[in-house]
């Protein structure tokens, strides 16, 4: 029997025993879906490329690069709704290729000091399985692996270790993070192992280890208070790299899309440009979190960049010295919306795209969902009817574009790679912000709009909502979620630091007690 088929039979068809079932047809494996508007539901999350790589590195001390082609369910949500069988096969092939290259000595718990191979294999299944799946195996799961050993008695000890390792890594229990819990009155309380994974992947992007893993093993990680204690110990550690902050800002601005932001060669927009554009937003945001009393507002108004030649060339300036962070000319570049990353991602190959820029700001930072254009709009574009005047007057288009276009055109003085492309043209339009009309004639270019966004409660509430979604792994909506967003936003406005509010979100009781997934 081909090993890939064996892995599928062991790890997919029969996975999640005594847990929510994964339903499979010929093409797609379906996962029970959360009801819209539910907060803190049971969830099943797919590891991101970065999380997968860090998890493999934690197991084998070996770096691996893999493109899982993760589909977002929302801005940065990673709850999985379905998984095509072709993607499952990709995990299988990846596991086979990875383990075939490993020195068996690098596989934890694979050593067998005596010749009692049967005992060593049973110990390997128990100990390595717990590390790989980030929880102990059930007796039924262990029996399934023991059954494989019995059915393949002719294989050598090393071959059995390698095959078992491949099966563990190809399993949904490895590539998915479950937040299911065990029944507790009307809700499901996350297990200590699930709490440890929740904390570790959100704050470190890696599987739990050290004291956090020990707390899961001995069952002491069992309350909101303990979650807060361990979250603080991670973030306050002097060696902490700030992953939760850099990953959040990377997700908000969708920095991964810079890799595919192909540009006209005349701009020399190369790997150095992409790397430094990412670095700029992530390192500056980390600096703001540490040194700015209002880091969320400063997303829109800060004047810092990184000392990287490829980036400074695009900004039309040079490095004045050796400092890592520099202040740049703020006459037209206040905040991240006027920086290369946002402008280049939301542009085309050889021209800017004000509609895309406006839609992203509305959706990502104002939490105003922008629906896809209706078929009639696509037909109008195909017929050459795509002028601003047409979009502002067409019954089909104006409902969205009266908000999208003014915001996007406020940044039209920047080209497709974020270089200044001319003087700002005063706009006649206006937008609604915090329930009031804001006229663009009173704004001083892109800086004026950025300052208005920074001062907006609507925008601040949206950013808190985005943090909550980031931690939950799913979009939030409905009355309950609105109350939560308001609660955390008021904490921030009362003077609490972003770090303190984040800790309260992480340790919120609604994280620990989940509603049932929809059947």
Locate the domains of the chain by residue range.
Answer: 1-11+39-179, 243-455
Q: How far apart are CA 29 and CA 16, in angstroms?
A: 13
Residue 228 confidence (pLDDT): 93
Q: How far apart are CA 390 and CA 386, in angstroms?
A: 6
Residue 265 confidence (pLDDT): 93
One DSSP character per residue, 360-392 reads: HIIIIIH----PPPPHHHHHHHHTT---HHHHH
End-to-end Cα spacing for the chain: 34
Report which DSSP code applies to 13: T
Residue 27 confidence (pLDDT): 44
Query: What is the residue-level pLDDT of the chain in tens, covering all 519 positions?
Result: 455 445 544 544 444 444 434 334 444 444 444 444 444 567 778 888 888 889 999 999 877 666 665 544 455 546 655 566 677 777 778 888 888 888 999 999 999 988 889 999 999 999 999 999 999 999 988 998 998 888 888 999 999 999 999 989 988 889 888 888 887 666 788 899 999 999 999 999 999 999 999 999 999 998 889 999 999 999 999 999 999 999 999 999 999 899 889 999 999 999 999 999 999 999 999 999 999 999 999 999 999 999 999 999 999 888 777 788 998 876 788 999 999 999 999 999 999 999 999 999 999 999 998 888 777 766 766 666 667 677 777 777 777 888 888 899 889 889 999 998 876 666 667 778 888 887 776 677 789 899 999 999 999 999 999 998 888 777 776 555 668 888 999 999 999 999 999 999 988 887 787 776 555
Q: At what angle do helices 139-151 and 157-170 cross, to 10 degrees?
A: 140
Both tokens of residue 94? 């990846």
pTM as predicted? 0.87
Both tokens of residue 266? 């005349």
Q: How far apart are CA 501 and CA 485, in angstroms?
A: 11
Please report, for residues 116, 262, 456, the alpha-carbon distance to residue 147 in angstroms, rounded to integers and kept in the order given.
17, 51, 61
Q: How far apart are CA 65 and CA 53, in angstroms?
A: 6
Strand partners for 327? 304
- Unique residue bearing structure tokens 């006027």: 338
- Residue 62: strand, helix, or coil: coil
Q: How far apart are CA 366 and CA 450, in angstroms?
A: 12
Helix (H) or strand (E) holding 175: helix 172-175
- Unique residue bearing structure tokens 């497709």: 416
- Unique residue bearing structure tokens 């254009």: 373
Residue 73 confidence (pLDDT): 47
Strands 325-327 and 304-306: antiparallel
- Residue 235: strand, helix, or coil: helix
């Amino acid at each position: 029997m081909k090993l890939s088929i064996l892995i599928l039979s062991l790890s997919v068809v029969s996975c999640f025993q005594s847990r929510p079932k994964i339903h499979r047809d010929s093409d797609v494996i379906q996962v029970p879906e959360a009801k819209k508007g539910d907060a803190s539901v049971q969830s099943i999350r797919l590891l991101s490329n970065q999380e997968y790589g860090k998890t493999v590195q934690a197991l084998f001390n070996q770096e691996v690069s893999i493109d899982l082609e993760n589909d977002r369910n929302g801005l940065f949500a990673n709850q999985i709704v379905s998984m095509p069988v072709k993607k499952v096969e990709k995990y299988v092939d990846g596991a086979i290729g990875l383990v075939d290259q490993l020195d068996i000595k690098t596989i934890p718990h694979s050593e067998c000091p005596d010749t009692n191979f049967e005992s060593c294999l049973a110990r390997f299944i128990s100990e390595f399985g717990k590390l790989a799946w980030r929880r102990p195996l059930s007796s039924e799961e262990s029996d399934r692996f023991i059954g494989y050993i019995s059915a393949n008695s002719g294989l050598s000890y090393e071959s059995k270790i390698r095959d078992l390792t491949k099966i563990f890594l190809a399993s949904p229990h490895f590539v998915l993070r479950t937040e299911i819990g065990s029944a507790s009155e009307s809700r499901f309380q996350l297990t200590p192992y699930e709490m440890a994974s929740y904390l570790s992947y959100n704050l470190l992007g890696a599987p739990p280890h050290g004291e956090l893993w020990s707390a899961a093993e001995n069952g002491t990680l069992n309350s909101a208070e303990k979650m807060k204690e361990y979250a603080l110990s991670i973030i306050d550690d002097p060696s902490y790299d700030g992953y939760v902050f850099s990953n959040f800002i990377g997700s908000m601005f969708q920095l991964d899309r810079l890799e595919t932001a192909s540009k006209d060669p005349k701009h020399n927009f190369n790997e150095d440009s992409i790397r430094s554009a990412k670095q700029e937003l992530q390192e500056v945001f980390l600096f703001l979190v540490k040194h700015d009393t209002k880091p969320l507002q400063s997303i829109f108004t800060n004047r810092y960049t990184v000392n990287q030649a490829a980036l400074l060339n695009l900004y039309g300036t040079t490095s004045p010295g050796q400092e890592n962070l520099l202040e740049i000319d703020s006459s037209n570049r206040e905040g991240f919306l006027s920086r290369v990353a946002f402008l280049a991602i939301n542009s085309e190959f050889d021209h800017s795209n004000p509609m895309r820029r406006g839609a992203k700001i509305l959706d990502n930072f104002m939490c105003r969902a922008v629906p896809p254009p209706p078929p009639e709009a696509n037909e109008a574009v195909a017929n050459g009817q795509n002028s601003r005047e047409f979009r502002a007057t067409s019954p089909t288009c104006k409902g969205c574009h009266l908000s999208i276009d003014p915001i996007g055109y406020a940044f039209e003085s920047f080209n497709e790679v974020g270089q200044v492309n001319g003087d700002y043209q005063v706009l006649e339009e206006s937008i609604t912000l915090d329930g009031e009309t804001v006229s663009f004639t009173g704004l001083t270019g892109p800086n004026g709009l950025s300052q208005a966004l920074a001062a907006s409660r609507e925008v601040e509430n949206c950013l808190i909502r985005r943090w909550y979604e980031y931690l939950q792994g799913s979009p939030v909506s409905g009355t309950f979620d609105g109350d939560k967003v308001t609660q955390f936003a008021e904490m921030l406005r009362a003077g609490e630091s972003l770090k303190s509010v984040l800790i309260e979100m992480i340790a919120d009781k609604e994280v620990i007690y989940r509603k049932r997934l929809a059947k």
